[in-house]
Structure 1
Amino acid sequence: MRVLVPLVLALCSLAALAQDEDKDCDLCMTNQFAKCSGAACDCTLKVSADMSQAVNCSKLTSKCWMMKNEMYRKKNGIGTRRIPTEHAMLDNDGLYDPECEADGKFHARQCNDTTTCWCVNTAGVRRTDKGDKSLQCPVLVETFWFQVQLRHKPMEKKMDQTKLEEAIRNMFVSYKVDPKYIEKVEYYDEDRYIIIDLKQNVTVDSPTDLATATYYLEKDIKDNTLFSVNYNQSIKDGMLYNGMKLGFDQAYIYYIDSKNPEFTMKGMTPGIIAVIVVVCLAVVAGLVVLFFTQRRAAKSHIYQKAEGRELDEIQKQQLTT
């Protein structure tokens, strides 16, 4: 009997532990692809077949880890619909399977699981020509300036600049960005474009990964949100402006690094080179036309002067006779 009591207690403890492990956990609000489980409801993100990355659901998951997760899902057909027809095209420009540091930063050199490599900035954007695996990327160059260009949907009333700037500040708070990072907001009424300059500021008390914040923002506008479906602070349904939801139909993110990018003519695509050649030829042709036009004008001017002198001589002869 004395032996059975401890055994029964141990079995009860195991059953209680198993129940805790199987309990329902809250969703990860900042990452709809993270899975939360276990007694502590720890949340992880699948980034490869044999690796899951722990995530903090009170913060945005780094852009590098989110790109790895997206590539993992694409490779394994997770969360995707039927395969498109044979000749269908998909714009995947900028998406690759990155190598990430333990803290979620990008490796300075990326190869996308191939023998072709390139150097990236802290936003994971390519900043050099592509090479082989002997390519050296000694440092991860910092992207210190992000220019966000948003095109809003048509609205009946004219935009109020003061209210717009307030709405922009509140919007970026939803993406964990301190408003002090916002250097300037410009609005172009005719084109419906809002341009926001975000700059890394060492004086801001709450450091923010602006690359990740703008990545989440761009995904929301392109109707591919990374937030949980219950997260109600993103702008996937529009930005709160003057008591209404202002929707967007375009988003462009531009990256300015602390060092100039290192592209060469060799690394340019034939299309870009062709455009440069056409522009150069047009400039040369314009200069040639300008040269001959000025030359003809000069000759005409000389002829007019000579003609005037001849007329003067004729008039003098007439007067003397």
Structure 2
Amino acid sequence: MKSLVLLALWLCAFVVGAWAQCQCPYLKWATCDGTPCQCSVSVGNGEKQVLNCSTLVPKCFLMKAEMYRARKGLSTRTGGKPTEHAFVDNDGIYDPECEIDGRFKAKQCNNTNECWCVNSAGVRRTDKGDKDGISCSELVETHWIRLELKHKETQAKLDATQLKAALGAAMESRYNLSASYMNNSEYDPQARVVVVDVVKPVGNRNVDLSRMAYYMEKDVKVLPLFEGEKKFQPTVGGQQLDFENIVVYYVDEKPPTFTMKRLTGGIIAVIVVVVLAVVAGLLILFFARRRERARYEKTQPREMDEMQQSLS
């Protein structure tokens, strides 16, 4: 009898241990089961995306899962431009088309007839246009990401060298990205802003910088995507650091092709006002000179008559 009890306890422990191991640490929405363990996430009605939970989930899969959850009413809370061609994601989340390996397809339409081209981070890099009129011949790679992080107030001043080391350690332990890709780091203690440049060699297709950037954005702006929702709080000089804002700039291997259409209504309105003011000024100057000329032409014959009378 005692042996049966021990066997039952062992089986329970085995089942609990197997269940604990069959989880996806990199996505809290994932469901995992089976032997061997397999994890997936819902991205559509009856549509599940199988995941590799040994690393960060591709950004394209994450966005599809977020859009699906938003449609279903489920919770989705989960230093300047480095170059003149850097740009930020002003469009936000959309329902993307993904390749089988999780990369973005070059052309995105968000299930509409309006489409645009994206980079490898899924960020729009062209104007939007008609579905049949937009051609995206390639998925341009993002090789440089600049992170501008603003931290909350701390009790003691932070050492810039220690801060860089802490962020590098977080890159490796939390985001599975080697700290060697941290090309540069600058810290402004007055503004509480740290700028980190994450750069990979042009032509490198083995490292996806967008995964790290997207997970970090969720960590700072919303809630962590990780199972357990453990916060992003690097330790610097014995202090746990909390961040309150993040701005991400993307630099692609080829410059984006935005045109004047990308200007916001406010900027266009300012341009129109300036142009109208210039035109109005020119018209006023034209009529003023015309009036002076007419006055001169009227006074000239009168002066000639007076001169003739004086001579006679």
TM-score of the alignment, normalized to the shorter chain, above 0.5: yes
**Structure with bigger RCO (C-alpha 8 Å, 6+ apart):** 2
Residue among 30, 42, 49 paired with 1:53: 49
Summarize the Cα distance change of 1:146–1:80 in structure 2 as closer, same or farther, 3 Å threshold: closer
Rounded Cα–Cα distance in structure 1 between residues aligned with 2:144 and 2:178: 15
Summarize the Cα distance change of 1:202–1:261 in structure 2 as closer, same or farther, 3 Å threshold: closer
% identical equivalent positions: 45
The runs of 5 or more residues in structure 2 that have no matched partner are 1-14, 78-89, 283-312
Q: How far 1:130 sits from its partner (Å)?
A: 0.6
Structure 2 partner of 1:107? 105
Q: In the alignment, is the contact (CA less than 8 A) between 1:119 and 1:126 conserved in 2?
A: yes
Q: In the alignment, is the contact (CA less than 8 A) between 2:26 and 2:225 conserved in 1?
A: yes
Q: In the alignment, is the contact (CA less than 8 A) between 1:100 and 1:107 conserved in 2?
A: yes
Rounded Cα–Cα distance in structure 2 between residues aligned with 1:203 and 1:98: 24
Which stretch of the first structure deviates more once superposed, 104-113 or 44-53? 44-53
Structure 1 partner of 2:124? 126
Rounded Cα–Cα distance in structure 1 between residues aligned with 2:137 and 2:243: 39
| SS, match of residue 128 in structure 1 | coil
Q: In the alignment, is the contact (CA less than 8 A) between 1:176 and 1:208 conserved in 2?
A: no
Q: In the alignment, is the contact (CA less than 8 A) between 2:158 and 2:236 conserved in 1?
A: no
Aligned residues: 251
Structure 2 partner of 1:246? 241
Following TM superposition, the consecutive aligned residue runs of length 4 or more in structure 1 with deviations greater than 6 angstroms are 279-282
Which residues of 2 match residues 254-273 of structure 1 at below 5 A?
254-273=249-268
Summarize the Cα distance change of 1:263–1:203 in structure 2 as closer, same or farther, 3 Å threshold: closer
TM-score, scaled to structure 2: 0.73
Q: How far 1:208 sits from its partner (Å)?
A: 2.9
Residue among 56, 63, 68 paired with 2:64: 68
Which residues of 2 match residues 164-179 of structure 1 at below 5 A?
164-173=163-172, 174-179=174-179
What is the root-mean-square deviation of aligned Cα atoms in Å?
Answer: 2.8
Rounded Cα–Cα distance in structure 2 between residues aligned with 1:180 and 1:261: 27
| SS, match of residue 114 in structure 2 | coil
Q: In the alignment, is the contact (CA less than 8 A) between 2:66 and 2:76 conserved in 1?
A: no
Q: In the alignment, is the contact (CA less than 8 A) between 1:218 and 1:251 conserved in 2?
A: yes
Which stretch of the first structure deviates more once superposed, 206-215 or 172-181? 206-215
Summarize the Cα distance change of 1:140–1:80 in structure 2 as closer, same or farther, 3 Å threshold: closer
Q: In the alignment, is the contact (CA less than 8 A) between 1:239 and 1:246 conserved in 2?
A: yes
Rounded Cα–Cα distance in structure 2 between residues aligned with 1:122 and 1:111: 16
Which amino acid counterpart does residue 211 of structure 1 have in structure 2?
S
The runs of 5 or more residues in structure 1 that have no matched partner are 1-19, 82-91, 289-321
Which stretch of the first structure deviates more once superposed, 263-272 or 43-52? 263-272
